[in-house]
Amino acid sequence: MSPAHHFTVDVEEYFHPTALAPWYPMAGWDGLPRRSPVVIDRLLGFLDERRVLGTFFVVGWLAEREPAMVRSIAAAGHEVASHGYEHALLGDLGPDAFRDSARRSKGVVEEIVGAPVLGYRAPSFSIVPGREWAFDVLIEEGYRYDASLFPVRQHPTYGYPTAPRDPFWIRRPSGRLAEFPSTTATLFGTTLPASGGAYFRILPYGLVRSGLRQSETRGAPGMFYIHPWELDEWAPDVAAPRLQRIRTFWRRTSTWGRMARMMDEFSFGPVRDGMASLERTPDAPALSFASQDETNGAS
């Protein structure tokens, strides 16, 4: 029997996506209406009807302002994890600011739900080659797993092409961290992103379906992700280029139906279940994931 795939939600607002960051500076966030609570409420009902539990990676800034939403997620039985505090790319933060973000977001969410936060997902999958120091920070700050690596090379701003496609352990000087990469599909000899988000909204449904089926063939769980703003009937009137608006908001009306179809075909659960399974697997792969600088002995 194939393990359940992982259903995950990156809980952030429509003004958080990296593609729209130039039009929504953080200094103005508090003056913008927040849409996530109403969408999350609908999503919780949708998942409850289908008896699906998932993992919700919550932006710490948003958790501080919508604690009732975060508590409702936990009360419904879902896992609550961290999506950083300010939804900033790791390359923009650097090691020290990233530590502050990872620590602050973890603390905020733990205080709200009254339970440990095990997992982290970097905004825009921004743990890329050269940012391996992030694994040490996460281990030192008490995280037990990461879900930030996307083993693809097509995207212009993220991707870790050499990462394994299935869950594995990362060995670092500070300890070990479980990694749950985003799902890919191999079609015509090419590895393509097939995990959710715009790939799920805009491209044919069969792409994500193929990725999940291929994961099952390998006996591994796949990873699906979605954002509240991809499930909202409302969209902001933002003066961003057309391509940016398409990437972020196009074909949102089809997302609910596609998710219902996907859940009819596949079973899903939270990442914490995958973490428990990985810990029970003595021969699970383990990689050092040293950066080029570390390999060369650079400081």
Domain of 261, CATH number, reads 3.20.20.370
Distance CA 119, CA 122 (A): 10
- pLDDT bucket at 41, cuts 50 / 70 / 90: very high
The span from the CA of 106 to the CA of 137, in Å, is: 13
Q: What pLDDT score was predicted for residue 298?
A: 37
Lowest mean pLDDT: which of 16-30, 59-73, 186-200, 241-255?
241-255
Confidence of residue 293 (pLDDT cuts 50, 70, 90): low
Amino acid at position 133, single letter:
W
pLDDT for res 156: 66
- Residue 255's pLDDT band (boundaries 50, 70, 90)? very high
Q: Span 35-44, mean pLDDT?
A: 98
Place of tokens 């383990």: 286
pLDDT of residue 215: 97
Percent with pLDDT over 70 in the chain:
96
Residues 6+ away with beta carbon under 8 Å from 111: none
Closest CA to 52 of 30, 74, 78, 32: 78
At 217-227, the pLDDT tens digits run 999 999 999 99
**Count of domains observed in the chain:** 1
pLDDT value for 217: 96
Give the mean pLDDT of 238-247: 80
Using CA atoms, how far apart are residues 260 and 213, in angstroms rounded to an integer? Answer: 17
Domain that holds residue 240: 5-295
Q: Sorting pLDDT into bands at 50, 70 and 90, what band is 229?
A: very high
- pLDDT, tens digit, 9 for 90 and up, residues 94-136: 999 999 999 999 999 999 999 999 999 999 999 999 999 999 9
Indicate if the pLDDT at residue 84 is higher than 70.
yes
pLDDT category of residue 254 using cuts at 50, 70 and 90: confident
Collect all residues with Cβ–Cβ distance below 8 Å to 141 and sequence separation of at least 6: 99, 102, 103, 106
Which residue stretches of 16-66 are H helix?
36-49, 60-65
Residue predicted with more confidence, 115 or 287? 115
Q: What is the pLDDT of residue 3?
A: 78
